[in-house]
Structure 1
């Protein structure tokens, strides 16, 4: 969405959240039948492991075959020197060779037939045999063997309790250093695009460890961080306290905090320079005080040169080139030309009153630094149109380019027919990230439907926004920075927490 007006708290960007825990490389899953007489739980446990020689990711799927339970504790043992590093979707611990997993507060209740997944990373040397016996709530699970399915996509990496994964593109999927697939699902954290240029600080609200812990508690594994080019570059229109090195260090500190919590930071150019007063303008100034139709050639490439240089040695950081290009909405060029403008900028943007940088220019600025980070290029018409994204996408020598798309209930492309027509072909070829999703009703029926479609196509998504604004003024996920959700936010939170 377009960003807020200069003093408004109802900014238009999105977030998306994530918790990816599943589909690991196939291994034998053991089916465990009825427990001993008088036991409270009948259970079935499936175990899979993705092994890279010195470590592995283990996933357990617990299915309740007995009466409903309000909490669970799983134990099993290894026969080698496997050592627990971290775990997710449960409280993992290890004593000797015995591993114990206790439910989290939000996934302890299992109705009859319900299943829950949890995962962890381990290090080892020597042999790495799968465990053969499991105990749930003190009762041994036993039985036959589950059918083994061969996955058609790489295994999915769950959120980490440690450093965020280093990412690259493999086909239409993000993968980590071990080759496991990663879907980015989380939230946007707005503020860095507007507070600084308005003289109100660098951020809007707390950006500390407690606020990140609250985001993580929603099972999010990615946070999109909108930025301002004037503030990063230290232009004179910005208060000296909030520009240049002060701004850059604040961004660096927040990016580091996210990574320490296993959360992927997506840094994004949101507000940029360039005077546009024609159709669909949002401010009558060249300064980066609102959403512009296209990034400017004067400052935007330099912004990305500096950002890429700062993070080129950290491929856990994802770059989102420009929030919401909208050359198709200016009424100065036809649809086909607007896509050429989107890609190439400059003379290919007839009628624009400042020189634009195209997505190719910004990508070139990133790659010229040597940065190999994953880069997102958002589509046309406020990023809601991907109709010519595949045909016009910029060339990336690193092969690490993904498509970004924004979707709200009031956009043009807001139903499954449009998603099937425009998004499915893109998602089949490159990773698709719905960088902003939301609805202005403060309900969640639209995003529920959208997230299900995106899940079915292996796409990533982030909800807009983790800010305590009046939900009536724009999609706001929370009413308090402790993570208390709005009605809209509850829909995203519950979906993230239940996601495999």
Structure 2
């Protein structure tokens, strides 16, 4: 399967500094998550539908807000661009109802030399404040564990699978913080792509490095069941989103490998790009439709590498016909020729690529 390109990582990782390990973490119970608007409160799964507290069907139609996974470890801030009310109002003007927020486990936990100014309580409070702001505008926040690293290594890139060392602690802490906010969706791990036994590795992980079913990984791997157990153990009944494997492009095997959830609150995310392995309506028919008949499905990342929108238009039209949501990558202002940026400024001016999403959202919600 053709893998998704790494143009996102290259933009932010030109310089990697050697950072010493700091052997402490931070409790997060002081963070305060405010009550969201009723339209996004009480999110839960029923069959293949995502519903709110009034049992109205919710289809996630939104964007990814990249930056919070990399700015902190580059000692350059927390958000890439503004995170104020005006910037969220620009999203509202696009009729967006969900924003996916990529996170860095070391910045949240304040470990492995993560800078004090942009990690620990500062990072956590910034995320809580942004979640509260999105809630106040009727937008569903999706918290995504995006960058991780085992041991004393600082996360500067996407890893194949989450690690036993920190990823469980991350989710216990995040879930504890947001357990009383049922508008928040937890996306357990971005783009799993271990090249060992895909389904078994994805679900169960490996307790030791280089052992089955994740034998190709040189660190102890936390599977989706372990991370889900951490979320539920922290008392959070929130909806949990699971990326498929193969850089989240393959979800055909997830139904046979689902982790056990006492809350039955799981949904599935596929990442779809023009240069992904599954990138045609015939493949969507074959692989994605059957999953969407059983569980809620979203294209958690949807993008196009040529700064146009013909490919994503086709994908969105197919998703509309099957009750599947989609989220554009990404609400950032990089050069659209090398990074699929939806906007040219944070007032919401669309790029040629972003125009496709804006027009599509507006047609659905005129």
Q: How does 1:231-380 map to 2 (within 5 A)?
A: 231-274=107-150, 286-328=153-195, 333=196, 337-346=197-206, 347=211, 348-380=213-245
Q: Please tell me whether residue 391 in structure 1 is matched to residue 248 in structure 2.
A: no
CA distance in 2, matches of 1:162, 1:168: 13
Q: CA–CA distance in 2 between the matches of 1:229 and 1:196?
A: 11
Q: How far apart are residue 446 of structure 1 and its match?
A: 0.4
The alignment yields a C-alpha RMSD, in angstroms, of 1.6
Structure 2 spans left out of the alignment, 5+ residues? 15-35
Gaps in structure 1 of 5+ consecutive residues: 10-159, 276-284
Q: In the alignment, what sits opposite 2:348?
A: 483
Structure 1: 4+ residue segments shifted above 4 A: 160-163
- Relative to structure 1, the CA distance from residue 6 to residue 439 in structure 2 (aligned partners, 3 Å threshold; closer, same or farther) is closer
| Residue 433 of structure 1, CA deviation | 1.2
User: How far 1:161 sits from its partner (Å)?
Assistant: 7.5
Where 1:350 maps in the other structure, the secondary structure is coil
Per the normalisation by structure 1, the TM-score is: 0.65
User: Residue 465 of structure 1 aligns with which residue?
Assistant: 330
Of the three residues 426, 430, 433, the one matched with 2:298 is 433
| Residue of structure 1 in register with 2:313 after alignment | 448
Q: Is the 8 A contact 1:163 1:261 kept in 2?
A: no
The 8 Å contact of residues 273 and 288 in structure 1, kept in 2 or not, is answered as yes
Q: Map 1:52-451 to 2 at 5 A.
A: 164-274=40-150, 286-328=153-195, 333=196, 337-346=197-206, 347=211, 348-451=213-316
For residue 6 of structure 1, report the CA deviation from its aligned partner.
Answer: 6.7
Q: 1:498 matched to which residue of 2?
A: 363
Name the SS of the counterpart of 1:231 in structure 2: helix
Task: Report if aligned partners of 2:205, 2:222 keep a CA contact under 8 Å in 1.
Answer: yes
Greater strand proportion: 1
Judge conservation of contact 1:162–1:260 (CA < 8 Å) in 2: no
Pairwise CA distance, 1:443: 0.3
Structure 2 distance, partners of 1:493, 1:449, is 14
**Corresponding residue pairs, total:** 334
Q: How far apart are the structure 2 equivalents of 1:189 and 1:363?
A: 24
TM-score, structure 2 as length reference: 0.88
1:128-149 CA-to-partner distances (Å, cap 9, x unmatched) read xxxxxxxxxxxxxxxxxxxxxx
Partner of 1:157: none
